[in-house]
A and B are shown apart, each in its own frame.
Chain A
Amino acid sequence: MAQVVRSPKVYDVCIIGSGAAGGVAAKVLTEGGLSVVLLEAGPALNPEEDFKEHVWPYELPHRGAGMGGKALKPGNSLEDEFLAPTGAWTIEGEPYTTAPGNRFRWFRSRIVGGRTNHFGRIALRYAPVDFRAKSRDGLGDDWPISYDDIAPYYDKVESYIGVFGTRENIPSAPDGVFQPPPKPRCNEIIAQKACQKLGIPCIPSRLAILTRPLNGRPACHYCGQCGRGCKLAANFSSSQVLIPPAMDTGRLTLITNAMAREIMVGKDGRAEAVSYVDKTNRSERRVHAKAFVVGASSCESARLLLNSKSSLFPDGLANSSGVVGRYLTDSVGVDGMGYFPQMEKIPPHNHDGVGGMHVYVPWWKYDRKNDFPRGYHIEMWGGRHMPSVGMFHHLCEQVEGYGASLKQTCRTRYGAVIGFSGRGEMIPNSASYCEIDPDVVDEWGIPVLRFHFQWGDTEIKMAKDMQETFRAIIEAGGGSYLARTKPDDDHPYGISDGGFIIHELGTARMGSDPKMSVLNGYCQAHEVKNLFVTDAASFVSNPDKNPTLTILALSWRASEYLLEQAKKNNL
């Protein structure tokens, strides 16, 4: 048997995962003077070579469709060849399973920066009520922290990474530290006017993309390709915005291709080492530290805790409560779209803008009784963006035929569609969780996750309301409503499969009662004082706002707390 390679050094902190949570922790802890080792399961990132920013589809043999037309498979459009590297619905050699009768999709990344290289850059604060939702409607649980606890960290994050937006004083969508937003696109002006008729607010969006230079990063150049990765780092990613300053301190050791297998505990119940697989040579390695920050992504972090069994923690590390893996939620996701004939008259123009919407609809029905308890927001898309594979498939189904008339129809209809995506809050339920599959390991020998996932009635009712709202906005805007998703028994009102919106979270939640939660309000394990889980596994609820900004703020807050405790020798 090959010998386990043990590093003689004991670092102050070992961080697992280099995405939003791990990136912030690396920055705050190294700048605070600690020595940090950061384990990333994927390779290093080289933006100049890895990002396909500004590449035309015809410069690639598969035109963006990927090997065998992979990206053209329904539900796979995210996996086109332009997406920043190693973000995928499937990772060869690293499977996960779903329980019979359940559907769950898990988008993972294996590269420095993780999914911050790919995400939509939407940066929304949770509202005060989001931390106290149970007190209001009796569902789910309240957070052990309040908006006032996290607000200073939202300020720090926004000031550092750069977020554009406007001050609106909407209770469901707190204002932040904002750069000026870009002007709206044509389709967004139509949507705004339509919303105005209906009394629905449609305000400048809030995205982590620079419209002004900040900390050595230039402002956006408006190519609309943030998802490909930005070579200039005008958008936010952990890899380009958080890891470099941590590196600059000289106190960060980054180990790539390091797949964490288990966190080991000493006799005193404190975590003392991480055992990991060096993927480059399939060797077993171990690294020691005085404290540990887990930020491997919600479900990957839960998997690591569940796989870290010992005589002290037979059900997984810090899991005497049995809560690890439970309370799994994703955002309710529903898409709809409309055809707007007036858009055919707009002359050709550069519509690209930033890589995401310039306006959005924050949750607005918080002041009335609805058929469902929580809220949703509406994102939008469409217009004359760069042609891509799949763009005319829906039109082909509608108009059929062939020849010069088909070509003319494509030309006329190009850019005349506006799409809407509702993203809403799911209430945790007992049928939605992840656990270790007893029969399956990945190619590194690490037991994999098995998912259970079911939407509840409240989510289905919310999906219905989303479709009705899309239709109302489209018709008020002079368009005709086209169902984008085919509602069927499995997907009522077009509701997405669990995990598909990539806001999966809650699997090691914080709380004040150690019997009902894994972590305290500082993301510190109740049972293991030198163990922190600072990614979205720590979330108590999944409000309609995309989770990344809150991950950054929570991890920043947890890291400052860890620093203080380290100084006081309390770990």
Chain B
Amino acid sequence: MPNRRDVLKALAMGAVGGSVLQVIPLQAAEQAHLMVKQAKAGAAGGPYKPKFFVDHQYQTLTKLCDAILPRDEHSGGAVEAGAPEFIDLLTSENQEYQLRLGGGMMWLDGLCTDRYGAVYLECQPAQQKEVLDLIAYRRNAQKDPSLSQGVEFFSFLRKLTTDGFYTSEIGIADLEYIGNKYLKDFPGCPLVPEW
């Protein structure tokens, strides 16, 4: 199978006329390769140092991301996909996120301390599950309004975790997205769905 560069070269050779645009494809390919290389080099620099969350909060964030999208038989989980790093980066730049996530985690630790005498990270797995089962559904807050801040927090974190996971290499492979290629023709729909 031809690589991206070959495809680009072929496209350039096929072009006709005197346009300056003919020289772009090869440069474009070089640039794309360079960008990937730089991204990979940047990724290989030791353990991530959180920009916003303090140590135990970052660990809590990591634990929550793992609970939201865990490893399964198809693919790795949100933590391997870099969701905590992604969320920490955005939060370090956004005061609203700092309140909603930083404050939300404090709220969660408060609830856990009231119920179990320990912050979320130090709770037993069964206790952690119990508390997530409470804040993962809006209907629980309708029954017990004291949960509503927790439900709001978890709802927001769940969205950001899906963002972090499904924009990663692991998440994209999990969805079996197979585009972002150079095609000569668009093949159309492989199976016209009936209903």
Contacts and interface: CB of A to CB of B under 8 A. Distances in A.
Interface of A: 47-49, 53-65, 67-69, 72, 182-186, 189-190, 213, 215-218, 220-225, 231-233, 240, 244, 248, 340-343, 345-354, 384-393, 396-397, 400-404, 406-408, 410-411, 414-415, 477-478
A402 B134 CA distance: 11
Interface string B117-158: 000000000000000100011100000000000000011001
B94 A215 contact: no
B17 A404 contact: no
Contact of A221 (B97, B155, B160, B182): B182
Given A182-B186, A478-B195, 4 more contacts: A223-B180, A231-B28, A393-B163, A400-B158
Interface string B70-113: 10101000000010001001100110010000000000000000
A396 B68 CA distance: 11
B57 interface: no
A-B pairs with the 6 shortest C-beta distances?
A216-B17, A216-B19, A478-B195, A183-B188, A68-B94, A57-B167
Contacts of B18: 216, 248
B67 A410 contact: no
A54 B194 CA distance: 33
Contacts of A68: 90, 93-94, 97
Nearest to B77: A407
8 contacts: A68-B97, A69-B93, A216-B22, A244-B19, A340-B195, A386-B179, A389-B163, A396-B162
A348 B191 CA distance: 10
Contact of B15 (A216, A347, A414): A216
Interface of B: 4, 7-8, 11-12, 14-22, 24-25, 27-28, 31-32, 35-36, 39, 67-70, 72, 74, 82, 86, 89-90, 93-94, 97, 132, 136-138, 154-155, 158-160, 162-164, 166-169, 171-172, 174-195
A406 B69 contact: yes
A352 B179 contact: yes
Given A183-B188, A396-B158, A386 B177 contact: yes
A472 to B, nearest CB: 15
B105 to A, nearest CB: 16
Contacts of A387: 166-167, 171-172, 175, 177
A319 to B, nearest CB: 41
Contacts of A47: 24, 28
Contacts, number: 240
B169 A48 contact: no
Contact of A386 (B15, B93, B132, B180): B180
Contacts of B187: 183, 349-350
A128 B180 CA distance: 40
A224 B5 CA distance: 19
Nearest to B184: A221
A223 B136 contact: no
A215 B22 CA distance: 11
Contacts of B7: 221
Contacts of B159: 390, 392-393, 396
A48 B24 contact: yes
B19 A215 contact: yes
Contact of B162 (A55, A60, A233, A410): A410
A69 B14 CA distance: 41
A393 B156 CA distance: 9
A221 B11 contact: yes
B107 to A, nearest CB: 17
B15 A404 contact: no
Contact of B67 (A48, A189, A352, A403): A403
A67 B195 contact: no
A354 B181 CA distance: 12
Contact of A403 (B19, B70, B168, B178): B70
B137 A400 contact: yes
B96 to A, nearest CB: 8
Contacts of A400: 136-138, 155, 158
B42 to A, nearest CB: 8
A347 B191 contact: yes
